[in-house]
């Protein structure tokens, strides 16, 4: 199981605007501190953490943050409509389009996805694969 994912950011305020445009709608709470942003799914008292957490932090080595070529973080939305809305919100919050929401021929008939780059250039996917919604061939 993946416990957490961290992406680097040089401008934490810009990153906060971007990630806060969609992560709260997916259930993530934000804890902001001097070390950066920590997004986690809420946990009721006595329950185990719901993983993974998602962190946005300046690199520990003090060098500029850079996006990993070929790396991507995907967040699951509930519906295709939510994918479209969150994709638009993230663009309005400083992201760049890396692929408009829609079906992709190389994925299953229910896999609906939109791609973004955060302000630092990290690739983010927002997807839904709800079998109760119309599929690519439907």
Provide the percentage of residues in the chain whose pLDDT is more than 90: 86
Domain ranges of the chain: 4-59+66-128
Report residues of the chain scoring pLDDT below 70.
Answer: 138
Which CATH architecture fits 4-59+66-128?
A: Roll (3.10)
- The pLDDT score that the predictor gives to residue 115 is 97
Residue keyed to tokens 């061939």: 137
The reported pLDDT for the residue numbered 94 is 98
Write down the pLDDT at residue 103: 96
Take residue 50 and report the two structure tokens written for it: 């719901």
The gap from C-alpha 59 to its chain's centroid, in whole angstroms, comes to 19
Q: What is the pLDDT of residue 2?
A: 87
The CB-side HSE value for 57 (13 A sphere, CA atoms) comes to 17
């Amino acid at each position: 199981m993946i416990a957490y994912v961290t992406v680097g950011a040089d401008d934490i305020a810009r990153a906060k605007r971007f990630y806060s445009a969609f992560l709260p709608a997916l259930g993530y709470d934000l804890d902001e501190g001097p070390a950066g942003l920590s997004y986690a799914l809420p946990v009721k008292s006595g329950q185990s953490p719901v993983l993974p957490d998602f962190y946005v932090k300046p690199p520990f080595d003090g060098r500029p943050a850079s996006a990993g070529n070929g790396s991507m973080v995907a967040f699951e939305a509930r519906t295709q409509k939510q994918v479209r809305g969150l994709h638009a919100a993230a663009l309005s919050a400083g992201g760049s389009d890396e692929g408009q929401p829609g079906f992709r021929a190389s994925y299953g008939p229910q896999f609906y996805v939109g791609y973004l780059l955060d302000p630092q250039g990290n690739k983010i996917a927002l997807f839904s694969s709800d079998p109760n919604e119309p599929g690519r061939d439907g």
